[in-house]
Structure 1
Amino acid sequence: MVVVIAYLSGFILPGLLVLLFTRVTYNRFIGLVLTVALIAASVYKGYTNSFVLIVIDAFSLTAGFWLAAKMKQRAAKKS
């Protein structure tokens, strides 16, 4: 059960963190860098213990980065 929760959070949380940091900093690259730094710290501390989970995190980061770009385009259209 714990493994399932780790993989599900790996699919969802990094992408959401990219979106959150993008909204706070108004820059999607800074949001991506901050999220990568958090994931690198968790890998360093040993909380991420499999290569598959790192790949899932990278996929989620990519999806969050793409969604942040779409979010920025929608905000530009409204202005």
Structure 2
Amino acid sequence: MAIEYVSALILPGLLVLLFTRVTYNRLIGLALTVGLIAASVYKGYTNTFLLIVVDAFSLTAGFWLAEKMKPRVFKKT
């Protein structure tokens, strides 16, 4: 039971980062991860509301980290 919550806390955020790096677009990375989580909810692998909340928190954290990973462009003076 505890491994479900630890996985829900870590894996969706990592998936957002992975898909963002592969597609070069953080919105597409977020959409792909939300689609995977929606499919797991539909199949019945996510069975409690708290698990869905932990997934959503991890998605938000991954989306924020994907924004922080964006390359910065510096102006030369």
Shorter-chain TM-score above 0.5: yes
Which residue does the alignment assign to 1:40?
Answer: 38
Structure 2 residue identity aligned to 1:68: A
Which residue does the alignment assign to 2:61?
Answer: 63
CA RMSD after TM alignment: 1.0
* Structure 1 unmatched runs, 5+: none
* Structure 2 unmatched runs, 5+: none
Q: TM-score by structure 2 length?
A: 0.93
* Larger CA Rg, structure 1 vs 2: 2
Which residue does the alignment assign to 1:76?
Answer: 72
3-state SS of the aligned residue for 2:46?
coil
Q: Deviations over 1:56-77 (max 9, x none)?
A: 00000000000000001xx224
Count of aligned residue pairs for this structure pair: 74
**Counterpart-to-counterpart distance in 2, 1:62 and 1:12:** 11
**Counterpart-to-counterpart distance in 2, 1:4 and 1:28:** 29
Q: Deviations over 1:31-76 (max 9, x none)?
A: 000000000000000000000000000000000000000001xx22
Structure 1 residue identity aligned to 2:67: A
